[in-house]
Amino acid sequence: MAAHAAESESVVPPMPERTPKALREAIAQHTPELLPDFDKHWKRAIADAYNVTPLHAFVARWWVEYAIARDPKLDAHLQDLEHRAAESTDSAEAKALLEEASKIRHQALRTEPGE
């Protein structure tokens, strides 16, 4: 029974619909540690806006944040890459680490709802 519980905990939740409301609900349910920053960013960038121009950039940023944070292994790997790059004294190594991190973020942006 314990093995089954551990297995179900490691399941990565699917991506929500690509709307601010669905994204906020998914963050609240699966990665609540991101919620305060999401809400602060919403209030600062969108809530008082008189046009919706910044909405696409807002959703894209939080889409990537959630896509990575919902998978603890991927999140840890990305943080490790960024930490190693920051600590590296070899510029070629740091560049390679940051390029790998960038690829992960770009792949997360291309994640579709339901994946």
CA–CA separation, 29 and 13 (whole Å): 10
One digit per residue, pLDDT tens: the chain, 115 residues? Answer: 444 444 456 799 999 999 999 999 999 999 999 999 999 999 998 987 788 889 999 999 999 999 999 999 999 999 999 999 999 999 999 999 999 999 999 999 999 999 9
CA–CA separation, 58 and 86 (whole Å): 26
Question: CB of 19 within 8 A of CB of 54?
Answer: no
Question: CB of 70 within 8 A of CB of 13?
Answer: yes
